[in-house]
Amino acid sequence: MKQTLTLTAGSSNKFWSVETTGCDVTVRYGRNGTKGVSKTTRFATPAEAEAAAVKQRDAKIAKGYEPVDAGAGVGGHPAAGDRTASVPSDDVTPVSPLPPAVEASAPAAPDTSSAPTVFDAADRDDIGLIGTSPFTDGYRIENIPVAAFSNEAADVDAERARFESIAHGVGLQSWNIKSAAWVFDEAPFVDVPPVAVAEAWQMWLFSDPLPNREASAALEDVLTPVLAALNGVEWVLDQKNASTLGAFASRALMPLASDELASAIAARASEPLPPVMVAYDSSPSDDFVHAAILRPGDTEVIAALDAWNPRDHAHGNPSVHDHLGHLLLYPTVPQRVAAFRRWGLEFAQDTKTTTLSAWIHATGREGLTCILDSLEAGSAPFAEGLVELAGAMLTGPGAAAFFIDALTRNGAPAARAWLTRHLGSAARADLDRAGAEALAPFLRELSPTALTGARRHAAPQVARVIDAIADDRALPDVACPQLSETLDAVGASATPTLRQLVTRLPRLRVGEGALGTDETARLLAALAQGLDAPERASLAGALEVLDTASADAFATALLGAWLSSGGPAKSSWMLTEGARLGDLRHVAVLAPLVERWGTTKAARAKQGIDALGANGSDAALSHLLAVTTGRGKPALRAHAKTRMDEAAAARGLDRCQLADRVTPTFGLDAGPRVFSYGERRFAASLDASAKVTVTEIDADDAPVGAPRTALPPARAGEDAEQVRAVKADFSLFKKELTKAVATQAKRYESAMMSGYRWLMRDVVDHIVGHPVLGPVAAQIVWARYEFGIVTATFRFVGGETMDVDGGRVEVPQDAEVGVVHAVELTPQQRDAWILTMLTAGGAAPFQQCERPIFTLTEEGAENVQLPGVPTREIAATSLVGLLARHGFERGPSVDAGLAFQYGLRAESADLTILITHGGIPTSAPHEHPPIRILNVVPVRGLLDPRELDEPEAFGERLVPWKHVPASVTSEVLAMLDATLATAPDEERS
């Protein structure tokens, strides 16, 4: 074969050609208009040579090279004026944050209909790492790279041309600090270069035009030891001045060592290991790394690393930059990734481009997930720089999942740019359904011909997405008069930007057709402009004609478009208002994002909570419920409770009643959920302890073998792909169901602490028979209450109410019942119920009958101010955490910020317990000074957190503690007792 390709996009102006002659493959490359550089490689057979040529050609096409018209010269086409080689710009700010989804016009769609298959199924995990060489292979200590001295004559001019054709500058911005590095289209060196070539490359790398420049990790740390080795210096024994990465990379030269030097290396490797840390300042020891490099996989080295954790010597999460050498000493990729997580490392603001490059070379696809974890920790420009730099090194389908995941994080614009450039590779990736659907906006840009071409080579999940796009395009436009009238009434008009956005979204189906582009753009305009309550209700009625599944897909895609644009505040309506069109799929995407934002982006998390509330489906509200009972920030829990209260009021319920009605069943309504490998099937359900278990079943659904906690691996003859997909489904099912059980357990515990009461009919109708709530409720002791007094205790057994001795208890449907608190039982009752529940098996979801109890004396109960409130100062973070765990909700600050209010609603008594503590200055949590509790008083009425105020403001509404349920009093006293846990011994006594 013989073919020439060219790349002229952006500032690139170069060619690449390949020709096979028998067993030889000759590659020539360089700037257009020049002769370029050629290299010939011999293979064992002509067939192998042809295959190698095709693979190299296809890799170039995947990176954007295009075939040259027939008759073009060797240089691809004549030189266009005096155009210079690609020169990196001083501006290293990542790609423009403007998303394709909101730009006025889209780039021309590439026509891939005639493109060859670049990656087949065997290549789907290949990340397409550019620039791999024996030197970068040195970062993988499990193998000693094999290198040889180049036998080619030193042609510095030719090398300069090659340097200009394959070298590109990329930038990484850390706050206001910019750095830049070289990345390469291919490995700069396959063999150890001649001295003159190595010296020339070193000069080019450290000369203009890069500001604050670094070479690539493959060269910055290699050229110096290469030159030293070529000049006879025993570099491997004298590494005091070598960088850590240089010490790894220079291992490529070990096979070239003389016998004498090899003996010296062996002797050095037998010496005692230095300590991992420098004792006098707790810094990482380069001496340890340099010595351990000579002993790859040594058990003593691994044991030393396993026993050490840099987090013990750092404030906050330690940086990868400081500890990369230690990570690379582990002999396998799983060990490196596990250590990264165990040590709590992150790619922090001091990350060098060389660090990122070395990590990717050393860990491949598995290591990319660690980069993802760091994207939310730093600034958006820094995250975009990380993603852009990774994108400059990766081209294969195995990297697609990383960039798809990055679409929902800081760095999204750079991820979007990579997916646009490498859509062919991404379409061939082995993605799950969500990942494949994330490619839909990019695929919708393709022409029908190009889409057909992409379909021929796409992975199965992506092929299904392409089929759905083709089906969408075939739908006729339909009119929707009621919607049109509503949009006219609110003054919604389509804009070019919104029309362009619509082309990237799935169509909204109505009957046998779909809304047209203009009508859909007008709908988006209505959502964007903000509607009042009557207008919103009118629009909701008009939208009832939409197909639910297509509206759900539309809302999910709209959310994705906003995220991939970096989540600009001015377009946040795509998150909050777009959610009104969503259903289960939209919620499944949004809910985990809200959970993640809760730890890093409080403002966005609040918007996500608003979006879940706007969605309003049972699934969305169940996730809001999880936020209210989780361990997130108190302000976010309070915000979620407000949205839950609004949703409950709209249905004529309270928050707890709503929670009973919106908890999902996870497909367990009719019995266990079945997961099938084909012939082998498995039934998953909750056991007596409300834990998820799975049991193999036969053709008659009878159990085979004992229950287990996970699905087994595939057997010989079973479809490995099907098994893998089923196991992924089960893992998600188990994760979500386990979280739901934990949420309900926390909710029932809160009900016990606050004295919440149900009507028995509601418990029977919505809890006992529910496949998730029922198993949790069966592990709890319940009580019937009359005038606030316990008159009977019972538990649920097979839907029946049984007393502590197993006798049946009659509970009228209109009776008030609740989760009984230990303080409401006699000592004999507590002991009897503890024994009964233990004998019944299972595990209690929270501490109930054995719970410590606290009471007030009769004299103390006559007071409004709770007696015995600790007067000592308490660590601010400890007190706030205790208040949150005991169900208190934060209100506003009072007295010019010198005090804060927290409230706990005791609904059965129509009371709110008000706690006031001293103010907390705005500072980092570990810098908060201790604070003091000022007041603990009951207030008549169920107060919203926003209504909390100083006790004096409530006047006659303040009541003595004798009116507070015993369970609430006990919990408040237990919390105050816990504040003494860290007090000095003399104070506790």
pLDDT over 60 (residue 177): no
- Here the tokens at position 860 are 């103390």
**Residue-wise pLDDT tens digits, 586-609:** 998 999 999 889 887 888 999 999
Burial tier of 969 (Cβ tally within 10 Å: 0-12, 13-18, 19+): buried
Phi, psi for 142 (deg, rounded to 5):
-70, -20
Taking phi first (over 0 means left), then psi (-120 to 50 degrees means alpha), and beta for anything else, what does residue 110 get?
Answer: beta
Do residues 782 and 804 touch, judged by C-beta distance below 8 A? no
What are the structure tokens assigned to 915, written together? 């706690």
The confidence score (pLDDT) of residue 89 equals: 28
List the chain domain ranges: 2-68, 120-270, 573-662, 670-851, 858-982
- Please name the amino acid found at residue 725: A
User: Using 50, 70 and 90 to split pLDDT, how confident is the model at 767?
Assistant: very high
Q: Residue 951 and residue 944: Cα distance in Å, rounded?
A: 15
CA distance 961 to 955: 15
CA 388 to the chain's CA centroid: 18
Which is higher by pLDDT, 987 or 256? Answer: 256
Amino acid at 408: T
pLDDT of 576 over the 50 cut? yes
pLDDT score recorded for residue 70:
42
Our separate counts of H helices and E strands in the chain read 39, 25
In this prediction, residue 308 has a pLDDT band, given cuts at 50, 70 and 90, of confident
Convert the pLDDT of each residue in 669-718 to its tens digit. 889 999 999 999 999 999 888 899 999 999 999 999 899 999 999 998 89
What gap in Å lies between CA 591 and CA 662, rounded to an integer? Answer: 15
Q: Residue 179's pLDDT is what?
A: 60
Q: Give me the pLDDT at residue 492, please.
A: 92
| Lookup result for tokens 């278990």 | 693
- Bridge-based pairing of strands 703-708 and 758-759 is unpaired
Report long-range pairs for 550-553 (Cβ below 8 Å, ≥24 apart): 550/506, 550/507, 550/508, 550/509, 550/514, 551/508, 551/581, 551/582, 551/583, 552/581, 552/582, 552/583, 552/584, 552/585, 552/586, 553/506, 553/585
Per the CB < 8 A criterion, the answer to whether 686 and 667 are in contact is no
799 CB-contact burial (10 Å; exposed 0-12 / middle 13-18 / buried 19+): exposed
Note the pLDDT tens digit of each residue in 624-639. Answer: 988 887 767 777 888 8
Q: What is the pLDDT of residues 450-468, one digit of tens each?
A: 888 888 888 888 999 999 9
Please state, in angstroms and rounded to a whole number, the distance separating the CA atoms of residues 301 and 78: 58
Cα–Cα nearest to 461, from 676, 732, 721, 674: 721
Q: How confident is the model at residue 116 (pLDDT cuts 50, 70, 90)?
A: very low
Q: Using one digit for the tens of pLDDT, what is the confidence trace for 836-862?
A: 999 887 778 899 999 999 999 999 999
The b-or-e profile of 631-657 (16+ CB within 10 A means b, else e) is: ebbbebbbbbbbbbbebbeeeebebbb
Interval 738-757 mean pLDDT: 90
The residue type found at 960 is P
CA distance 591 to 619: 9
- CATH placement of domain 2-68: 2.20.140.10
pLDDT tens string 10-55: 556 778 888 888 777 888 877 676 666 666 776 767 777 888 888 7
Q: Write the DSSP symbol of residue 76.
A: S
pLDDT in tens, 676-685: 999 999 999 9
For residue 316, with 0-12 CB atoms within 10 Å meaning exposed, 13-18 middle and 19 or more buried, which class applies? exposed
Residues 503/506/512/513 CA torsion (nearest 10 deg): -20
Note the pLDDT tens digit of each residue in 522-564: 999 999 998 888 998 899 999 999 999 999 999 999 999 999 8
Residue 781 and residue 793 in contact, taking contact as beta carbons nearer than 8 Å: yes
pLDDT of residue 230: 55
Q: Residue 33's closest CA among 80, 71, 72? A: 80
pLDDT for position 928: 59
Q: Please, which residues have CB within 8 angstroms of residue 574's CB and are 6 or more apart in sequence?
A: 558, 559, 561, 562
Beta strands in 837-977 (DSSP E): 889-894, 899-906, 911-918, 933-940
Per-residue pLDDT reduced to its tens digit, 354-364: 788 889 989 99
Residue percentage of the chain with pLDDT more than 70 = 84
Instruction: Supply the pLDDT for residue 221.
Output: 53
Structure tokens at 216: 């690539």
**What does the pLDDT read at residue 561?**
92
Q: Which two tokens stand for residue 254?
A: 């070990």
Please say if the pLDDT value at position 260 is more than 80. no
Residue 46: φ, ψ to 5°: -60, -35
pLDDT class for 217, splitting at 50, 70, 90? very low
pLDDT at 101: 31
pTM, entire model: 0.70
Class of domain 858-982: alpha beta
Three-state SS annotation for 340-404: HHHCCCECCCCCCHHHHHHHHHHHHHHHHHHHHHHCCCCCHHHHHHHHHHHHHHCCCHHHHHHHH
pLDDT tens digit sequence for 118-176: 334 557 788 988 777 777 788 888 877 777 777 777 888 888 888 888 877 766 555 44
